Structure 1
């Protein structure tokens, strides 16, 4: 019996020593990462880092984190971030986002994000690169606001990104938001009638994407991996009488130019075109050209109110059959 007791004591001391060493190493790693980002010209700072969770977890609360990437101009500030992981494998990470305002800034402006019960669960492959195997972001009610009012809001949010076990550079992505709705700012810009539904009936995405390299710590520290193949099984947005669905199979070269096919289904496309013009997404000078193209697509579908067509992207152009409709957009992650 005394031997068992001594073995238990030694095991507890060894585990306690491991926990203290690993916690100190994690704190040093955070400090080193922040210092490295500052050396690269980032704004990277926090007020305090509190560690706890002994003996079974590593729990860290980062108070007043602030990050700004000088290359993209994107910045984030928050009151706190809570990070937690099991002590036996710190690669299963859970990040809890604060329920008060998260401030986002970019060259396009500033926005405020509010999320209830938001958490991100990450599974990282063992190794210094911290290769991403799975990311799941889930939230309750959330809203994105700008200086003039609400921009977007929904009852929930679900985003899942999972690595394909047969090809590490390929990820399966699904996303959706229940009761997704434009806020007061876009509704005013679009001059949406009061009788129009408040929320989208459906707002979902299911796709696979293959990148030029895996997603790992370099995605934050160096540059984002760039897509080289995109397969969209379904992208769907249904809002009142407006319906838009898309599927695609595209390959993308090193310059971001896509080639492949894009299938589109749209109902009441005239209203979609009108809303795009009102929002300033489509310059007035291009409206006649866009209307001619969409009319041709609708005529090919056999229903003047609907579009059901497959477009070909080739040589930097978008084509309907042999008819060029315009330049293909470049697909580059900044």
Structure 2
């Protein structure tokens, strides 16, 4: 019994030492990070920084946090941010974010109100710490701009997960963002759009906008292949995209629905090359949406819709508009419409 007590005492002392050494390293690393940001010209401010959670967790709490890039005019301000990690698996980090934050952009400030907003980063236990998964989820999310617009989400999730069976540097971007609550002013403007019907011989009648108050579906699965894995060497390797494969993309808002799939990858000259096919069901609802968004003028909408009808007539189902984003030889087009040069995927230093 005495030996067992001695053993428990030794283990407790060693574990306590491990925790305090780890807590000191975390606190020192965080303080060093804030100092480095300030030296590089960034704004990185806080009131307090503490590490708690003994003996089973490392809980880092930063109060009155403000990060800003004076050159871009982008900043983030939050009353607190917390980062948690279990002592026996420090490669799995969970962050809890406050119910209210402010993101400032060059032309506006957006207040972010949320419930149960959490993020997690998980690496594989290895000396290189390869990324296994990044995940952001919440029960609700609301955006309110000082320019007057709002946008809301219900329960949502966004994640980036390693897919080593495809390649060591391939990751799946998965998301489920619906229901989406559009800005009430935009929704009112959309429902007020009245596109005049086309007279004969191009007779075309437009349905009254019948969009519900919420977008029912926005989800997808996109595979991203990078030039190098996301691990502790990423700062030196600076990975960039070499391939994008849309395996699933679904959007549904009332009678209007859209899907997309395809593959884009860098060609021999580093330009994006490949095809992505977009199919829009009940495309006759699309012109009103384009008018409300300011993409198309009301007087031009009938002509645009007539062109859509002509393209949809080439498919087996005239209610489905199918267009292909085609990138070939450094140029790209969307259906019959040329869009100009394709984006460069491989940096010039490549």
Question: Structure 2-normalised TM-score?
Answer: 0.82
Report what 1:104 is aligned to: 103
> Is residue 61 from structure 1 mapped to residue 76 from structure 2 by the alignment?
no
Report what 2:200 is aligned to: none
Among 213, 227, 245, the alignment partner of 1:212 is 227
User: Cα 1:40–1:265, aligned 2, differ >3 Å: closer, same or farther?
Assistant: same
Instruction: Determine the C-alpha separation between the residues in 2 that align with 1:291 and 1:130.
Output: 52
> Is residue 306 from structure 1 mapped to residue 305 from structure 2 by the alignment?
no
Query: Secondary structure of the equivalent of 2:90?
Result: coil
Q: Is the 8 A contact 1:301 1:309 kept in 2?
A: no
User: Cα 1:222–1:46, aligned 2, differ >3 Å: closer, same or farther?
Assistant: farther
Report what 1:52 is aligned to: 52
Q: Is the 8 A contact 1:151 1:186 kept in 2?
A: no
The C-alpha deviation readout for 1:28-56, integer Å capped at 9, x for no partner, is: 10011111122221111211112111001
Report what 2:4 is aligned to: 4
Report what 1:19 is aligned to: 19
Q: Is the 8 A contact 2:170 2:226 kept in 1?
A: yes
The C-alpha deviation readout for 1:278-311, integer Å capped at 9, x for no partner, is: 3234578997996576445323225544212444
Instruction: Determine the C-alpha separation between the residues in 1 that align with 2:67 and 2:122.
Output: 23
The C-alpha deviation readout for 1:143-202, integer Å capped at 9, x for no partner, is: 111114452212211112111224232101210123222122432554567963011121
User: Cα 1:199–1:302, aligned 2, differ >3 Å: closer, same or farther?
Assistant: same
Q: Is the 8 A contact 2:142 2:150 kept in 1?
A: yes
Instruction: Determine the C-alpha separation between the residues in 2 that align with 1:256 and 1:189.
Output: 42
Question: Structure 1-normalised TM-score?
Answer: 0.85
**Number of residues paired by the alignment?**
330
Instruction: Determine the C-alpha separation between the residues in 1 that align with 2:70 and 2:271.
Output: 26
Q: Is the 8 A contact 2:211 2:255 kept in 1?
A: no
User: Cα 1:40–1:252, aligned 2, differ >3 Å: closer, same or farther?
Assistant: farther
Unpaired stretches in structure 1, ≥5 consecutive residues: none
User: Cα 1:316–1:128, aligned 2, differ >3 Å: closer, same or farther?
Assistant: same
Report what 1:267 is aligned to: 281
Rg comparison, structure with higher value: 2
Q: CA RMSD in A?
A: 3.3
User: Cα 1:83–1:331, aligned 2, differ >3 Å: closer, same or farther?
Assistant: farther
